[in-house]
Amino acid sequence: MTTIVGQELQQAREERSLSIDQAASATHIRPHYLRALESGDFDTLPSVAQARGFLRAYASYLGLDPDPLLSLLENKDSAPITPPKGIAPDSNAVTETPQEASEIFVEVGERLKRQRELLGLSLDDVERHTYLRLHYLLALEAGKRVRYK
C-alpha cells in the first residue's frame, strides 16, 4: 500500500518536471524525507504524525488530494497499540514503582533526544523555539527530575 502512495507522489512530481530539491525548497520538507515518501519507506520518517503531515503537505503541493493517500497510509498503520510499561491496558492507573518510574523517564528522555537529532535540531534550536531553558531540556533528555527553587 505504501509503495502505491510513493509511486503516486513520484509520478506527480515527475509529470511537473520537478526535482526533489525543488520540491523540498517549496515545501520546506528535507529532501531525504521526500525520497522516503516516494519510496514508500515511511518507517524512516521521524514519527507517524510527521509522516502524515509530510504526506499531506507534499501531496497538496503536487496538486494531489491527500485524503485517499492518507487512507492508504492509515491502513498500513492499523497494528494494535500496546500501552507503555507501567500503564494497565484497560485503565489509566499507574502501577509502577519509583524505580520503574525513573526508568520510564530515562526512556522518554532518550526518545526526545533521538527525535531531536532525527530532526537535525540542536538544543539551542529547541530552546529558542519552545522557550524552555537549556538546563530543563538537558534534564528532560537525561530523564532527570528538576526541582524548582
List the domain boundaries for the chain. 2-76, 82-149
pLDDT value at position 40? 86
Joined together, the cell numbers standing for residue 100 give: 520503574
Chain centre distance of CA 135 = 24
* CB half-sphere exposure, 97, CA atoms < 13 A: 2
82-149 and 2-76 share a CATH fold: yes
Specify the residue for cell string 514519527: 47
Average pLDDT, the chain: 82
Q: What is the pTM of this model?
A: 0.51
- b vs e for 106-118, b when ≥16 Cβ sit within 10 Å of the residue's Cβ? eeebeebbeebee
pLDDT value at position 105? 86
Which CATH class name applies to 2-76?
mainly alpha
**CATH number assigned to the domain with residue range 82-149, chosen from the 4 options 3.40.50.970, 1.10.260.40, 1.10.3260.10, 1.10.10.1100:** 1.10.260.40
Taking residue 67's Cβ as centre, other Cβ atoms within 10 Å add up to 10
Please check the confidence at residue 94 and state whether its pLDDT lies above 60. no
